[in-house]
Structure 1
Amino acid sequence: MDDRDQSAPGSSSSARKRLRTSHACDICRSRKIRCDGLSPCTSCSVSQTECTYGSEANSRGKSDLILEGVLRVERLLQQMNANVVSYRAPLQKPPCDDSGPISDSQHPSANYARNGQGNLENAVLDAMHTSTTESVLQWPHFDVFPSLRNDYVPIFELEQARSPVKMRPTSIMYPLVSQDEIDSILEAFQDNVNFWYPTLSRQQLDKVGLAAKCLSAGVSEDYTVQSCLAHLTMALGCASQTVAGLARRTSLPDDQLKRRAEQKEMGDLYFDHALKRLHVAQMDVGSEATQCLFFTALYFAFLRRPLQAWEFINAASAKCLLLLSYRPADETSEDQERIRRIFWSCYILESDYLAELSALPPSGIAPIESSIPLPGVLPYATHPNPLQEEHSSLYLLACISMRRLLNRVHNLLYARNATLDRRRFPPIVAELDHQLDEWRDVLPSAFGFTVDTADVETEAGAFLRQRYLTCRSVIYRPYLMWVLSGGGVGDGPSAREVEGCRLCLQACLLHVLNLRGFAHTVLVDTWICSLSMAGAMLVLLAASRIPSVRSVISPSLPTAGAHLSELLRSWQRVLGEPSSPSVDQAVRVIGEADGFIKQVFAAGDILALCGRESG
């Protein structure tokens, strides 16, 4: 019923409602969603956000809106922890109806308070967790495919045996670039690295631009933190140019490959000069010195050198811990915010590496993450475009909150002491899935996506969809592991268990099929992504051998392996030599798993009839 027709002319409350309906509240306007004009509006009520109306369309500043985003994510994380911690205690066996698929009526939120109160627990990734690709490869379901293991070399062994990064013996060679090229390199850095990890302020960027003009063989012999930072920024800008636009194409002509090779060579040259100055940053204790260590880690990630990247993430994290514990007397608010942003960026990347190399010694930042304010609380200008700066801040927040959720998923379901208890994991899975959907619901409209193979409006949104699908697949994997372990013997798996398997495999396959050459993925995550995709193919291979589960797998599965192999090989060509032995091995595993999947699909149930079915 329309209030405009039913309200009395003299009703002030109705008049106010009509007035508010004519314009959205500040939060709905910033998120570009429809506002119903209530006080508070429905959207703010659901997200527990303060609902305010300005007299003009832009009544609040950009920094205020970003702060609202920070607080909204913090409240969501507190609520997530309160809900999940309730499951850590041993559960009494609940009444469980296995006769049908998972439904909302079985959702644990109906039985557990959702008040969001209590201490915020640190989202620490458990050492030696069992969700790495190498752990999946040890499943007994791959015993019938001996070549997968016989030719496999442990990742650490491959990476440790690599030759060190070659450094040029002298500084005779130096990048010769014009002012236009400098501007282009720094713009690429801003649009990519400083968008994903907005740690470099505009004031710093201006100094880098001035320093870059003086970076020549005759003028650049200053061994300072600022000079090291300038070289690293230029190196990462060249790396950004190298990987730009790969999401829109799968193959590149020779002239494009040559141009990108030249850009990478330029980046390597800047990085070479940065490494010769890195000792200055290592001996200094300050926010910019910490930034140098973090940028060094990013460039090693670009080079697909995971052990070196982890080493410098660890070093940057140590300086963050020091500067957060003992604040320098001359520390500015910009220094403080910079350290916080580097801290959270290191938290994300360290967790990503621990997700695949679970025995890596942790830096110590994860156990205190809940006590460190999220980025955006203090003013910190990173981009000349206010909208880009806002999106960058919110993108980092989205990545932080997703990484925290992923760490909790790994700890609850795959920690060393976690057991596959049929009474325990279903309510945990349901709660974690609910939290995952809440994470998606609070994303800004610029990062919105659908859970299918449809194109996403922005590359940032497409990258976040990949994170979402990764998380969903590992959340529902216990159902698949239960069925694979013989938990559904007798009458076979229940409808609920099959539905859990379907949701796991759907997310897993969508994660594979939606992969593109996103700049964030190729520059920072090529090594991590290759292992993750190999793990996904192994999970799909194991599932394809179970007739009751194979029936819920999408018929597009046989196309997944070729899609992945083509992408990863194309990235290797763009990134150049030396290639990563870990990535090469992951491509081999993907290819072999793809071949076995096609054999299983072609044979139908022959494997089961021959007694080779593992379920």
Structure 2
Amino acid sequence: MSGNAMDVGHLVQLVPRGGTDCVYGAEATNKSKSDLILDVAIRSESLLQQLSAQLAQASHRSPANISSVASPGNAISPSTVSNFGRGEGPSDHISNAILSPFHASTTESILSWPHFGEFRSLIKESKFSVFQLENARRPLSHRPSPPQPFMTKSDIEKTIRSFERGINFWYPTMARSTAKSLKEYLLSGAVKESTRSCLALLVMALGCSSELVGLFTTKETPETHSVEIETQQRFLASMYFECAFKKIPLAQAEFTADAVQCLFFTGPLQAWSFISAAATKCRLLLSYTPSDQPPERLECLRRIFWSCYILESDFLAELSALPQTGIAEIESLIPLPGEYSTQESQSDQEQSSLYFLACISMRRLLNRVHDLLYARNDGVGFDNNQFPSVVSELGHQLEEWKDLLPFHFQFSVDLDTTKSPEGAFLRQRYLTCKSVIYRPYLTWALSNGEEVVECPPDCI
């Protein structure tokens, strides 16, 4: 998960080039305070311009340094778990895994390829763009406040466990201590008009949904639900979410970790708008973290940040010209997930952390692939003389990522059943990344038509 491989020595050499001498003991100048601020701003801008030029030369896309740009392997190696939360050195924070605006590899871009012009029947059936289809989603309308569903203590505990093993396993952002606090809050019956209440109700809604879709099985939850149980879970999930959604404006107006979690947990149900809002608030809170911030709350924000980074990148990979929140621009500055208890079982805790790291690592690699091959101005995916070597290196790094997966998540590239549902999803990610990496060969073949004899030679 390291950034661009530019050594510290190179960065140090840039400092004297600013042309600024350090003078000690000099008399104070007669300049006004605003003039001094302007001088500092001009001098800083000059230094940044020189640094940018140096970085552009150092990070020139060539086969020699692509490995350092996109390598995802270290994120899920066996030593990673024992090194959670350890910051990287300054030289690791140079290049971010960011998607270029208007990159040429969105779903919409591919559907508009002229090569598919012959398949007019397929294009005719697809009357709407991906954005139009997404935008056609029926918004949640404000209805009269529904009564809060009644659940016994055992039902509440069961639902929260469902949330932990379902949602909080795939996106481990809530500490167990917070979940326990929310359980006591619900049992007290003092659900008020507050962000805390909104978060508690969302946890219950997602817990009921986890049971409904069968994301997991426990001794208390049979593998096959009866129609009555499914209907009940669907009703409870809907009721809890309607109650929570009534309180969403409170989270939108508040800048706290609880508010960010509310927006994030609403995101999967209302797609882009809430994920964008959660990412924006999360970035702001991480930029202005008070010194007395509890470590658990800071880790919560970091995990929400990485979750938003994954989901936002997924949207950006599909839709053209989608507004960006800017979290990808600082992703190399945010530490990887650290010590954080999200599961009752220590084994589940370890598996959840490893799976989260695997998803972060894959999303970073996917962003590198999209940027290196399909960036609007300098992607090499359409240059027959450059893309073979880049594709070869990226393909090698993808295989390294696959080989470094923990045993529980390993998979074979065929129709065999995976060892776990998480492994099945990672296999899907692997195949998606592979298709994006090798797409230039498909484009090249379609562009050359009957003249295709052999693949372009590799660049050395």
TM-score tier by shorter-chain length is 0.7 to 0.9
Q: Of residues 447, 450, 455 in structure 1, which corresponds to 2:417?
A: 455
Instruction: Say yes or no: does 1:165 pair with 2:127.
Output: no
Query: Is 1:414 the equivalent of 2:388?
Result: no
Question: Is the 1:341–1:375 contact (alpha carbons within 8 Å) kept by the matching residues of 2?
Answer: yes
Q: Does 1:443 align with 2:418?
A: no
| CA distance in 2 between partners of 1:447 and 1:349 (Å) | 21
| Equivalent of residue 484 in structure 1, options 431, 443, 446 | 446
Q: Is the 8 A contact 2:278 2:308 kept in 1?
A: yes
Distance (Å, rounded) in 2 between the aligned partners of 1:364 and 1:228: 27
AA partner of residue 170 (structure 1): S
Distance 1:371 1:114 in 2: 17
- Residue 291 in structure 1 maps to residue 265 in structure 2: no
Matches for 1:213-362 after TM superposition, within 5 Å:
213-215=187-189, 219-220=190-191, 222-244=192-214, 256=226, 259-298=229-268, 300=269, 308-362=270-324
Structure 1 residue corresponding to 2:429, chosen from 458, 467, 481: 467
- Equivalents in 2 of 1:209, 1:319: separation in Å? 25
Any conservation in 1 of the 2:168–2:174 contact (CA below 8 Å)? Answer: yes
Query: SS at 1:485's partner residue?
Result: helix
Paired AA for residue 289 in structure 2 = R
From 348, 357, 363, the counterpart of 1:388: 348
1:186 aligned partner = 160
What is the aligned partner in structure 1 of residue 360 from structure 2?
400
Task: Give me the CA root mean square deviation.
Answer: 3.0
Using the TM superposition, give the Cα deviation of residue 270 of structure 1 relative to its aligned residue in structure 2, in angstroms: 0.8
Q: Is the 8 A contact 1:398 1:443 kept in 2?
A: yes
Pairing of 1:50-89 with structure 2 (within 5 A): 74-75=1-2, 89=60
Secondary structure at the counterpart of residue 438 of structure 2: helix
Bigger RCO (CA 8 Å, 6+ sep): 2
Q: Give the aligned residue type for 2:439.
A: R
Structure 1 unaligned regions, length at least 5: 1-73, 92-107, 248-252, 301-307, 500-615
Contact 1:483–1:493 (CA<8 Å) still a contact in 2?
no
Report what 2:21 is aligned to: none
TM-score normalised by length of structure 2: 0.76
Q: Distance in 1 between matches of 2:253 and 2:237?
A: 24
Rate the CA distance shift 1:90–1:233 in 2: closer, same or farther, 3 A: closer
After superposition, the Cα gap between the structure-2 partners of 1:229 and 1:112, relative to the gap in structure 1 and judged at 3 Å, is: closer
- Distance in 1 (CA, whole Å) between partners of 2:306 and 2:237 is 25
CA drift of 1:475 comes to: 0.5
Deviations 1:520-560 (A, max 9, x none): xxxxxxxxxxxxxxxxxxxxxxxxxxxxxxxxxxxxxxxxx
Rounded to whole Å, the distance in 2 between the matches of 1:321 and 1:209 is 28
Q: Which residue of structure 2 lines up, in the alignment, with residue 430 of structure 1?
A: 392
Greater mean alpha carbon deviation, residues 114-123 or residues 184-193 = 114-123
Tell me the equivalent position of 2:97: 123
Measured in 1, the distance between the counterparts of 2:365 and 2:61 equals: 21
Equivalent position of 2:149 in the other structure: 175
Letter in 2 for 1:323: L
Alignment-derived partner of residue 54 in structure 1: none
- Quick one: distance in 1 between partners of 2:246 and 2:188? 17
Q: Determine if contact 2:165/2:216 at 8 Å carries over to the other structure.
A: no
Corresponding letter in the other structure for 2:390: I
- 1:328 partner amino acid: P
**Structure-2 separation of matches of 1:129 and 1:150:** 25
Give 2:174's match in structure 1, choosing from 200, 214, 221. Answer: 200
Q: Which amino acid aligns with 1:243?
A: V
Give secondary structure in 1 for the equivalent of 2:95. Answer: coil
Measure how far apart 1:244 and its partner are: 0.8
Letter in 1 for 2:360: I
| CA deviation profile, 1:139-160 (whole Å, cap 9, x unmatched) | 2222222122223212322333
With the length of structure 1 as denominator, give the TM-score of the two structures.
0.58
> Are residues 129 and 246 of structure 1, via their aligned partners in 2, closer, same or farther at CA, if it must alter by over 3 Å?
farther
SS in 2 for 1:451: coil
2:93–2:332 contact (8 Å) kept in structure 1: no
SS at match of 1:288: helix
Partner Cα distance (1:265, 1:415) in 2: 45
Aligned 1:477-516 pairs, distance under 5 A? 477-486=439-448, 489-490=450-451, 492-494=452-454, 496=455
- For residue 143 of structure 1, give the secondary structure of its aligned residue in structure 2: helix
The structure-2 alpha-carbon separation of the partners of 1:88 and 1:231, relative to structure 1 and needing over 3 Å to count, comes to: same
1:460 to partner: Cα distance: 1.0
Matches within 5 A, 1:86-165: 89=60, 120-151=94-125, 152-165=127-140
Percent identical among aligned pairs is: 48
1:80–1:435: 8 Å Cα contact kept in structure 2?
no
Secondary structure of the 1:367 match is helix
Partner of 1:10: none
- CA displacement at 1:497 relative to structure 2: 5.9
Q: How many residues align?
A: 382
**In 1: Cα distance, 2:279 partner to 2:118 partner:** 43
Is residue 225–residue 281 contact of structure 1 (8 Å, CA) maintained in 2?
Answer: yes
